[in-house]
Structure 1
Amino acid sequence: MKYTEEHTIEYGECDENQHLKLTSMMDLLMQVSEHQLDEHNIGTNDLLDQGLGWVVTQYHMQITRLPKPAEKVILTTTASGYNRFLSYRDFSIEDKAGNALVSVHSQWVLFNLKERKLVPSDEKIMEKIDAPKLKKMPRFPRIRPLESYEQKKQYSVAYYDLDTNHHLTNSHYFNWLIDVLGREFMSKHRICEIDLKFDQEFQYGEEPYSCVSYDRVDQTTLTHHALMDETGSKRAVCEMKWQNK
């Protein structure tokens, strides 16, 4: 089942170069998904009453361009399928002419918040949003962490970084992934593709490191990222593809 909303990009959702921030992009995608679930009484509050929450495990994103302030866009989400433990959801951002600006595939699990463990997919929830049961698992690009990274910067998980599942919110990961690249890099490059895989959440008070290395070929730069805890254990890995502006 496809769910669609219109949205006008606000100045506060954009960076200094007047492009939609990746953090704002993620907030918009989560918002449209939540609105769809709320229509069927299976949103965040409904799940919290059952002690459950959705946890994302992987994203694959293709970005043609990021919209600008005052631009009207169409936000779309579809629950694209599920199997025993995994659920899949697609997102898109299109301009008013229907041209794709952003396309996202994502993989999720249903999580018992008290016991901190995943639970099987709920077929009744899936039926409400017309998600088909899948025989084959959709494939995502494989992301491997590097042995070492060129740069790293330490951060801290603050109170307003937390979501209703009580760990670091999805969009905030992008603050750390982008910040470590620096202002000069961001002013000279355009994001084209993102693969992000989560292995373990961050919680309040932790002080993780955002790490990055660079591969440059002609007009393209591939950045390799890892978010590590203080012991050096990798909690999330990411690859981003950039074009020179």
Structure 2
Amino acid sequence: MVHGERRISPAEAGLTEDERLLAPGSRDWLHQDPWRVLRIQSEFVMGFDSLAELGPAVGVFGSARTKPTESLYADGVALGRALASAGMAVITGGGPGAMEAVNKGAAEAGGRSVGLGIELPHEQSVNPYVTHDLLFRYFFVRKVMFLKYSVGFVALPGGYGTFDELFEALTLVQTGKVRSFPIVLYGREYWEPLLEWLTGTVLAAGNVSAADLDNVCVVDTIDEVVARVLA
């Protein structure tokens, strides 16, 4: 145990830091949560210090389940290579699948290949193509790093994690919490049903405006991705 930190109870053993933070409250929080605040603060300091001189970067999201034999993996490699060749760093979640592909392309092109890893209940090591890795305990701290140091976002086909990052970015742009920046969806066949739902159901119900939908575009080629991000 590090001096000044609390001991972890047997009931908490095996839980992630997010689970401990969000667990139903009790009087124990009086003694535990203040130390968590310091840990959260340390993660912000670590991230800011490590990425402050990164330069222009693009955050890329996508499924950890994408296999190296899939065409989407090859597309991810091509995307990472193209962004690096355009002078952009890439920032991914540092995991396998589509994230690994993008990191691989950037690293092989001699670019800056960043991986923002996250503590998960199951082991997930940072992929071998990351040249600059950071490990976070808290998802929300990690999200801030993506948003602060990316000049645009690219979403490759993915699942819940990809949707989470995508809608977080769209919400922050919609509410004016961040400046408007490119949000590009790669793979028309995968993403168009989502955009059709947003237009035909969500917009039709008056729950977003037409201008909100202008904050995202869908493309089918790597050249289009790079052009949109650099526009």
TM-score of the aligned structures, taking structure 1 as reference length = 0.24
TM-score of the aligned structures, taking structure 2 as reference length = 0.25
